Amino acid sequence: MLIVENGAVSWPSGPLATVEQADAYAQARGWSDWAALTPERKSGAILDASAYVRASYRPPEDVSATVEEQISEAVIEAARLSLTSPLIGGDKAAQAARKSVKAGSVAVEYETSSAESRSAARLALVAGLLRYAGAYPIGSGVNVRLAKS
């Protein structure tokens, strides 16, 4: 799945997991919501999750079958999350839950959570799986790889 050229690792342009992998992962966890989806909807969710991972994380420096399996699992978790709300952007991502309180002529509106905090909470498991695989968020730490001369 990962591309290695001249010692540099990069993400492929397509999905980072297959529907078959996702079905097996979901079945092992009893995800009835995933089982009820059409193959097209599953593929779309996996593509959305793959785009999220590529946009948000650097590929790991070391590649192995175990690392690729861990990345696929993270993508599958993100794919399931993408079924309920967008991982990046979209109309729902910008909405915040609001609560209005009115006492006499005074009205106060509270924002109960921001899109960023909800997104971070939903994707905590995905982030953990990707860190375990050696993929770190873009913008964290050093963003350049040092090459031996």
Q: What are 79-111's pLDDT values in tens digits?
A: 999 998 888 765 444 454 556 677 777 877 665
pLDDT of residue 17: 98
pLDDT of residue 31: 95
15 and 47 in contact (C-beta within 8 Å)? yes
pLDDT of residue 93: 46
Q: Please, which pLDDT band fits residue 124 given cuts at 50, 70 and 90? A: confident
Count Cβ atoms below 10 Å from residue 133 Cβ, excluding itself: 23
Q: What are the φ and ψ backbone dihedral angles of 90, each rounded to 5 degrees?
A: 85, 165
Q: What are the φ and ψ backbone dihedral angles of 123, each rounded to 5 degrees?
A: -100, 10
pTM of the model: 0.73
Rounded to whole angstroms, the Cα distance separating 7 from 87 reads: 30
Mean pLDDT value across residues 36-63: 96
Residue 58 has pLDDT above 90, yes or no: yes
15 or 148, higher pLDDT? 15
103 and 46 in contact (C-beta within 8 Å)? no
Rounded to whole angstroms, the Cα distance separating 78 from 95 reads: 20
DSSP, residue by residue, 56-82: HBPPPSS--HHHHHHHHHHHHHHHHHH
Question: Buried b vs exposed e over 37-63: b needs ≥16 C-beta within 10 Å?
Answer: beeeebbbbbbbbbbbbbebbbbbeeb
Rounded to whole angstroms, the Cα distance separating 77 from 71 reads: 10
